[in-house]
Amino acid sequence: MDCIYKDSNAPIEARVKDLLSRMTLLEKIGQMTQIERSVATPSAIKERFIGSVLSGGGSKPFENAKSADWADMIDGFQKAALETRLGIPIIYGVDAVHGNNNVYGTTIFPHNIGLGATRDADLVRRIGEVTALEVRASGAQYAFAPCVAVSRDPRWGRCYESYSEDTEIVRKMTSLVSGLQGEPPRGHPKGYPFLAGRKNVIASAKHFVGDGGTQHGVNEGNTILSYDELERIHMAPYLDCISQGVCTIMASYSGWNGDKLHTHHFLLTEVLKNKLGFMGFIISDWEALDRLYTPHGSNYRQSILSSVNAGIDMVMVPFRYELFLEEFLSLVESGEIPMARIDDAVERILRVKFVSGIFEHPLSDRSLLDVVGCKAHRELAREAVSKSLVLLKNGKDEKIPLLPLDKKTKRILVTGTHADNLGYQCGGWTITWDGASGRITEGTTILDAIKVVVDNEAEITYELNPTAETFSGQDFSLAIVAVGEGPYVESGGDDPVLKIPFNGSELAGFVADRVPTLLILVTGRPLVLEAQLLEKIEALVVAWLPGTEGRGITDVIFGDRPFHGRLPMTWFRSVDDLPIHSSGENSLDPLFPFGFGLTTTC
Ligand code: GLC
Same domain, 437 and 351: no
User: Annotated catalytic, 365?
Assistant: no
Cis peptide bond prior to 11, omega within 30° of 0:
no
- What's the mean pLDDT in 378-400? 96
CATH of the domain at 101: 3.20.20.300
Q: What are phi and psi of 444, to 5 degrees?
A: -125, 120
C-alpha closest to that of 476 among 506, 522, 520, 512? 512
Same domain, 201 and 109: yes
Evaluate whether residue 85 is within a structural domain: yes
Same domain, 221 and 285: yes
Q: Over the stretch 407-453, which tens digit does the pLDDT of each residue have?
A: 999 999 999 999 999 999 999 999 999 999 999 999 999 999 999 99
Q: How confident is the model at residue 602 (pLDDT cuts 50, 70, 90)?
A: confident
Same domain, 98 and 220: yes
DSSP state of 68: H
Question: Cβ(424) to ligand 1 under 6 A?
Answer: no
Same domain, 293 and 437: no
Q: Over the stretch 233-281, which tens digit does the pLDDT of each residue have?
A: 999 999 999 999 999 999 999 999 999 999 999 999 999 999 999 999 9
- Report the distance separating Cα 300 and Cα 432, nearest Å: 29
Q: What is the mean pLDDT of the chain?
A: 97
Residue 398 is predicted with a pLDDT of 83
- What's the mean pLDDT in 459-478? 95
Tell me which of 321, 343, 370 is where a domain ends: 370
Q: How confident is the model at residue 586 (pLDDT cuts 50, 70, 90)?
A: low
Active-site residue, from 211, 285, 420, 538 = 285
Same domain, 144 and 233: yes
Where in the sequence is the domain holding 549, given as residue range(s)? 389-577
C-alpha closest to that of 135 among 100, 101, 181? 100
Q: Which of left, alpha, beta for 162 (phi over 0: left; psi -120 to 50: alpha)?
A: beta
Query: What are the Cα distances from residue 368, in Å, to 127, 136, 145, 561?
Result: 16, 7, 21, 31
Evaluate whether residue 475 is within a structural domain: yes
Q: How confident is the model at residue 587 (pLDDT cuts 50, 70, 90)?
A: low
Q: What is the largest CA-CA distance in the chain?
A: 89
Q: For residue 177, which amino acid is it?
A: V
Would you call 584 exposed, middle or buried from its count of C-beta atoms within 10 A (0-12, 13-18, 19+)?
exposed
Say if CB 555 and CB 561 are below 8 A apart.
Answer: yes
Question: Cβ(95) to ligand 1 under 6 A?
Answer: yes
Q: Is the pLDDT of residue 1 over 60?
A: no
Tell me which of 370, 403, 425 is where a domain ends: 370
Name the residue of 59, 92, 285 whose CB sits within 8 Å of the most ligand 1 atoms, as the mutation to test its pocket: 285
Q: Which atom of ligand 1 is nearest to the CA of 318?
A: 6
Tell me which of 335, 370, 405 is where a domain ends: 370
Active-site residue, from 161, 490, 538, 555 = 490
Q: Over the stretch 55-70, which tens digit does the pLDDT of each residue have?
A: 999 999 999 999 999 9
Could you write out the DSSP letters of every residue in 167-216? HHHHHHHTHHHHHHH-PPPTTPPTT------TT--B-EEEEETTGGG-GG
User: Annotated catalytic, 535?
Assistant: no
Residue 68 C-alpha to ligand 1 middle, in angstroms? 24
Q: Is the pLDDT of residue 583 over 90?
A: no
Q: What is the strand order of the sheet 517-522 is part of?
A: 390-394, 539-542, 517-522, 478-484, 411-415, 459-463
Query: What are the Cα distances from residue 482, in Å, to 418, 447, 536?
Result: 5, 10, 15
Residue 58 is predicted with a pLDDT of 93
- Report the distance separating Cα 495 and Cα 212, nearest Å: 14
Same domain, 73 and 151: yes
Residue 581 is predicted with a pLDDT of 80
Same domain, 415 and 309: no
Atom 1 in ligand 1: which residue has the minimum CA distance? 286
Atom 3 in ligand 1: which residue has the minimum CA distance? 285
Q: Which atom of ligand 1 is nearest to the CA of 57?
A: 12
Q: Is the pLDDT of residue 99 over 60?
A: yes
Question: Cβ(206) to ligand 1 under 6 A?
Answer: yes
Residue 297 is predicted with a pLDDT of 65
What percent of the chain shows pLDDT beyond 70?
Answer: 99
Evaluate whether residue 446 is within a structural domain: yes
Same domain, 404 and 457: yes
- What's the mean pLDDT in 296-309? 91
* Cα R_g (the chain), whole angstroms: 25
C-alpha closest to that of 58 among 443, 470, 504, 430? 430
Number of domains present in the structure of the chain: 2
- What's the mean pLDDT in 178-188? 97
Q: Could you report how far apart the first and last alpha carbons of the chain are, in Å? A: 69
Q: What is the strand order of the sheet 248-251 is part of?
A: 204-208, 248-251, 281-283
Question: Cβ(193) to ligand 1 under 6 A?
Answer: no
Same domain, 350 and 414: no
Same domain, 334 and 420: no
Name the residue of 144, 158, 207 whose CB sits within 8 Å of the most ligand 1 atoms, as the mutation to test its pocket: 144
Evaluate whether residue 57 is within a structural domain: yes
Evaluate whether residue 204 is within a structural domain: yes
- What's the mean pLDDT in 463-477? 95
Evaluate whether residue 309 is within a structural domain: yes
Same domain, 306 and 436: no
Evaluate whether residue 520 is within a structural domain: yes
Evaluate whether residue 394 is within a structural domain: yes
